[in-house]
A and B are shown apart, each in its own frame.
Chain A
Amino acid sequence: MTKTITEKIFSRKCGCDVSAGEMRVVPVDAAMVHDITGPLAVNMFHRMKGEKVFDPEKIIMIFDHQVPADSITAAENHIMMREFAKEQGIYNYDVKEGICHQVALETGKIMPGDIVVGVDSHTCTYGAVGAFSTGIGSTDMGFVLRFGALYFRIPESVRIEADGKFAPRVGAKDLIMKTIGDIGADGATYRAVEFTGQAFEEMEIPGRMTCCNMAIEMGGKAGIVPPDEKTRKWLSKYGDVDAAKPGSFDLKADEGAAYAGKVEYDVGDLVPQVAVPHNVDNVVDIDEVEGTHLDQVFIGSCTNGRFEDFAEAAEVMGDMNFSPDVRVIAIPASRTEYLKCLRAGIIEKFVEAGALFEAPCCGPCMGGAFGLIGVEEVSLSTSNRNFRGRQGSTKGEVYLCSPATAAASAIKGEIADPREM
């Protein structure tokens, strides 16, 4: 029987043939908890009469949403999580390490074909290395911490096939926003989004992370790119790829596998995309919003906070400074990415151009910590959501774009086309 990559991963894990639509209780290979939804998960673990977690080595704890602690309650939540980690023998990636999804992949604990859950909707990012990864709630995570397994409905898949070569200043973020705009915010609900084609084969892991990260923005349970030599090379910087399960790097869908839907793109036709407030699927070509006044530009988040994103932004900037009328907040996704920016002179360039370059964390993305916008302010952001109130006031507006568009716009003080810089 022909299978999608998702069905193969679940079949391998279950030791028998399973197909989309079946409900199974499946062991997980890793579980990620962070400082916002983690405390409630720990509470649920205790309420489920949990005493020892299933396997401390498979639990990845990371503080990223409110770091350094921005309130007394956040500090208390951190204390509680640190104590739990110590008592259970879990290694805690504390406030200095960066955003959960970037750091989780940098631990080298996640390999292709793994089944990973995390208490954050953007856990689907790990599909960039060929893992089946999905976001769950805190009670689900309490159950996982105790039993090391969770109930899953094995999802149908939708196939996004992208061929061709990107034009200069157009890339992964534009492609995923275009796809979300076409499919809609619930177009892939309960489904795994499988990304294939020449554009994904040629895309490096950071771009694949950007695309998989936003699978949830079309309702996807997971986003997944078939693993390949690029995956092996990237993961070998962080973990022991030879210890991965046999066949992990050869996983791909069978010819003729059944999909719930297919969409095809030639990325050569793609122009910079912008998601307009207040829904992620309100996506337009950049010429429809050029000239929109901006108060703040944010380059960072688990979607676009990697070295490659800052390097592209820096290339667009050239020797120009940011508009004095715009606050530019730049935040790398992890300590590793921060150091790469530091060593390449990118931080110096950003600071000289007028940016606030912050230590790795989620920053204004979720609207819980610093860098919030006020009433009637407009933010342009490389993050993944533009919901009303997402980055501060419910009377403010958030637009989403690529790092290249963010840099061009920060220079002009209004939404600007990076191809014209």
Chain B
Amino acid sequence: MSDMKDARIWKFGDDIDTDAIIPGRFLTIYDPKELASHAFEGTRDEFSRDAKQGDVIVGGRNFGCGSSREHAPIALKGAGIEMVIAKSFARIFYRNCINTGLLPVVCPEADKISEDDTITPHLDEGYIEVSGKKFATEPVPEFLSKIIEAGGLVEYAKGIDEVETCIK
């Protein structure tokens, strides 16, 4: 993860849908940088202009609801975002983050974070430090940790020849 000292926090509310993150008309594009140039187009136009490597998105409840479009986490990664903190995530978006290597952090107190705060993650210890205060984060399930450790599902898949099914 990049040095977070200069990281800007981009704060969003509840129910941020994938149409807001990347509108449907850009889904023929797959290049992360090009997708990033349209991220939040029409809903928060300064994002694609000003977001830089290491910035953090903070959302409320149900972040990433809507379409299964993986273009959404790819666009955010293309814009330099490495971590999204939210009170809760929509299921498909959460999986897509894990699979593509964008870190989703569930933090029940995410709505108390403001854009003026500074964030230092201590995820192994189960919290993030927000301007000196400790906010608990939920651990990532063990199986998903393996995928994150591998660097995403592509890297995980490269390391195996076949998948053993119905095992824990």
Q: A219 touching B65 by the CB < 8 A rule? A: yes
Q: A43 touching B168 by the CB < 8 A rule? A: no
Complex-state Cα separation, A107 to B39, whole angstroms = 36
Q: Which of A22, A120, A190, A393 contacts B68 (CB 8 A)?
A: A120
Residue from B23, B69, B165 whose CB has the most chain A CB atoms within 10 Å = B165
Contact segment of A81-89, A138-146, A193-201: A138-146
Q: Does A135 sit within 8 A of B, measured CB to CB?
A: yes
Q: Does A101 sit within 8 A of B, measured CB to CB?
A: no
Residue from A13, A393, A394 whose CB has the most chain B CB atoms within 10 Å = A394
Q: B61 touching A121 by the CB < 8 A rule? A: no
Known: A37-B69, A390-B24, A394-B43. 6 other contacts (CB 8 A): A24-B165, A48-B154, A71-B28, A137-B100, A149-B165, A279-B15
Nearest-Cβ distance from residue A149 to partner chain B, whole angstroms: 5
Q: Which residues of B contact A138 (CB under 8 A)?
A: 70
Q: How many residues of B contact A (CB 8 A)?
A: 46
Q: A47 touching B154 by the CB < 8 A rule? A: yes
Q: Which residues of A contact B27 (CB under 8 A)?
A: 36-37, 65, 366, 368
Q: B20 touching A139 by the CB < 8 A rule? A: no
Q: Which of B25, B62, B143 contacts A185 (CB 8 A)?
A: B62
How would residues 55 to 81 of chain B score, 1 for a CB under 8 Å from any chain A CB and 0 otherwise? 000000110011111110000000000
Q: Does A258 sit within 8 A of B, measured CB to CB?
A: no
Q: Which residues of B contact A22 (CB under 8 A)?
A: 168
A14, closest chain B residue (CB) = B166
Q: Does A147 sit within 8 A of B, measured CB to CB?
A: yes
Q: Which of A13, A48, A119, A385 contacts B66 (CB 8 A)?
A: A385
Q: Does A356 sit within 8 A of B, measured CB to CB?
A: no
Q: B19 touching A143 by the CB < 8 A rule? A: no
Q: Does A238 sit within 8 A of B, measured CB to CB?
A: no
Q: Which residues of A contact B137 (CB under 8 A)?
A: none
Complex-state Cα separation, A367 to B25, whole angstroms = 6
Complex-state Cα separation, A139 to B147, whole angstroms = 12
Q: B70 touching A40 by the CB < 8 A rule? A: yes
Q: Which of B30, B91, B162 contacts A147 (CB 8 A)?
A: B162
Complex-state Cα separation, A366 to B62, whole angstroms = 20
Complex-state Cα separation, A368 to B19, whole angstroms = 11
Q: Which residues of A contact B123 (CB under 8 A)?
A: none
- Chain B residues 115-166 with CB under 8 Å of chain A are 141-143, 152-154, 157-158, 162-166
Q: Which of A139, A147, A151, A395 contacts B96 (CB 8 A)?
A: A139
Q: Does A284 sit within 8 A of B, measured CB to CB?
A: no
- Chain B residues 68-110 with CB under 8 Å of chain A are 68-71, 88, 90-92, 95-96, 99-100
Q: Which residues of B contact A16 (CB under 8 A)?
A: 166
Q: Does A343 sit within 8 A of B, measured CB to CB?
A: no
- Chain B residues 20-67 with CB under 8 Å of chain A are 20, 23-25, 27-30, 41-43, 61-62, 65-67
Q: Does B111 sit within 8 A of A, measured CB to CB?
A: no
Q: B19 touching A387 by the CB < 8 A rule? A: yes
Q: Does B167 sit within 8 A of A, measured CB to CB?
A: yes
Q: Does A388 sit within 8 A of B, measured CB to CB?
A: yes
Nearest-Cβ distance from residue B65 to partner chain A, whole angstroms: 6
Complex-state Cα separation, A294 to B143, whole angstroms = 49
B142, closest chain A residue (CB) = A23
Q: B153 touching A140 by the CB < 8 A rule? A: yes
Q: Which of A37, A47, A186 contacts B65 (CB 8 A)?
A: A186
Q: A39 touching B30 by the CB < 8 A rule? A: yes
Q: Does A27 sit within 8 A of B, measured CB to CB?
A: yes
Complex-state Cα separation, A387 to B65, whole angstroms = 10
A393, closest chain B residue (CB) = B42
14 A–B contacts, CB within 8 A, in A order: A66-B28, A121-B66, A137-B68, A137-B100, A138-B70, A186-B62, A189-B88, A219-B90, A367-B24, A368-B27, A385-B66, A387-B17, A388-B20, A389-B19
How would residues 133 to 172 of chain A score, 1 for a CB under 8 Å from any chain B CB and 0 otherwise? 0011111101100110101010000000000000000000
Q: Which residues of A contact B91 (CB under 8 A)?
A: 189-190, 219, 221
Q: Which residues of B contact A137 (CB under 8 A)?
A: 68-70, 92, 95-96, 99-100
Q: Which residues of A contact B157 (CB under 8 A)?
A: 48-49, 142-143, 146-147
Closest 10 CB pairs of A and B: A394-B42, A186-B62, A48-B157, A73-B28, A137-B96, A139-B99, A368-B24, A367-B24, A14-B166, A137-B70
Q: Does A44 sit within 8 A of B, measured CB to CB?
A: yes
Complex-state Cα separation, A254 to B9, whole angstroms = 48
- Chain A residues 344-395 with CB under 8 Å of chain B are 366-368, 385, 387-390, 393-395
